[in-house]
Amino acid sequence: MRIHLKIVLDCDADAAWRALHSPRAVAELYGPLLEMTPMDAAGLPSRLEPGADVPVQLRAAGVSFGQQLIHISDRRVAQTDGEVRVLRDSGIPLTGPLAALDVWDHQMAVSPAPGDPGRTLWRERLVIGGTAAPALWPGLWIVWQWRAARLRALARTWAYDPEPRGDTADTDTDAAPTDAA
């Protein structure tokens, strides 16, 4: 069974790609509906690196919704209208209702939006399988609609890139004042 999203976000594809690798940004996608906390005493990494396993605890309204292992891989696909970057989470639900699934394959693709390279075409596909999939699909579909709304709202905050600072050698504000007399 599959769940698909295809939306255009108000940020460039580089900002969306950085957000996909940010545990903080990923956790914000589910908030306040679900809370994602690290299971590792060291906390969440600052960046989700390909190949790393990141165990997290999910809670809904303070009640455990289960544990999930995030396992990231990246790939790039050249297409005639530009490059598509794909992040795949092939981790698995460890406990909770989602652990009844036999298949969990979540892929998110970002590329510049057609005709507007300052915006991002975001495509997402979740494939689930197993005897529990038909029962869990409606709830996951609702969560994915929530994700779409959160993506649209949060993408504007991802787009901020500070302006480069100019050479400050000539504007040293800590220098002692000079007498002009």
pLDDT tens string 70-113: 999 999 999 877 799 999 999 999 999 999 999 999 999 999 99
Helices assigned H by DSSP within the chain: 13-20, 23-30, 133-158
Q: Residue 109 class from Cβ within 10 Å (0-12 exposed, 13-18 middle, 19+ buried)?
A: buried
Q: Tokens 């997402």 label which residue?
A: 124
CATH number for region 2-158: 3.30.530.20
Phi-psi region of 61 (alpha: psi -120 to 50; beta: other; left: phi over 0): left
Domain boundaries, the chain: 2-158
**pLDDT value at position 90?**
92
pLDDT tens string 135-181: 999 999 998 999 999 999 999 999 655 555 555 444 444 444 444 44
